[in-house]
Amino acid sequence: MKLFCIPLVAGVLATASFADVYVWESFTDASGGINSPTGGTGAGSPSLVVVGGSPIIAGSGNLYDPAGSFTMHLYGAGFVNNPTMEIAGLGSEFDTSSFYLNTAQGPVFPTVEVTSGGAGFGAFNTYSLSWDYAGPAIFFNFGTSAPHASLDRLTIGTFGETIPAPGALALLGLAGLGRRRRS
């Protein structure tokens, strides 16, 4: 029995070590500089950059544009395999036609599912994106459709991971911390 279990566990751990999930829950630069992830399990260094529009950093740490729409690129994802992304927005909707992955062969568009709630200024929208693509990523593109849109959170899984809920991601981090303390 031991001989069977050890390769099985080793295979699961090897697969898990390639899972890269990156989370942005607050932002530091609204004028074209780098926004680094604030959490996740990835070993790379992707960056989120405002490439169009004039958003500001709200007191909550969100990117918010009171006057118009804005566009962002996510760089540094490297090689991806069926990536997934979740965008949590407040206020005005994001422009779903702006969601794509730029590759050397051209843009690859995702399947998009939208969950909405609330109305007006308190409205929220969660966009779950998934791509059927494996290869190098130049950048991911996404943007808002109107003034008063706010980017609350962005999560990306570069190897087709199911995006965990923020609470579950925090528990994974705590589990890893507990594991390190025992070592």
Q: Say if residue 136's pLDDT is above 60.
A: yes
Contact 54, 65 (CB under 8 A): yes
Query: Which has the closest alpha carbon to 83: 29, 143, 36, 22?
Result: 22
Per the prediction, the chain carries an average pLDDT of: 83
Arithmetic mean of pLDDT, 48-74 = 97
Kindly give the pairing relationship between strand 79-81 and strand 47-52.
Answer: unpaired
Q: For residues 179 and 159, give the distance between their C-alpha atoms in angstroms, rounded to a whole number.
A: 24
Is this structure's pTM higher than 0.85? no
For every residue of 47-68, DSSP letters joined together read: EEEEEES--EE-TTS-EEESSS
Which pLDDT does position 159 carry in this prediction?
Answer: 87
3-state DSSP assignment of residue 1 = coil
Domains and CATH numbers, the chain: 18-182 (2.60.120.430)
Higher pLDDT, 153 or 166: 153
Which pLDDT does position 138 carry in this prediction?
Answer: 96
Contact 77, 156 (CB under 8 A): yes
Distance of CA 92 to the CA centre of its chain: 19
Give me the sheet containing 106-108, strands edge to edge: 47-52, 71-75, 139-144, 94-103, 106-108
Arithmetic mean of pLDDT, 88-94 = 95
Sequence-distant (≥ 6) Cβ neighbours of residue 107 within 8 angstroms: 100, 101, 141
Q: Say if residue 171's pLDDT is above 70.
A: no
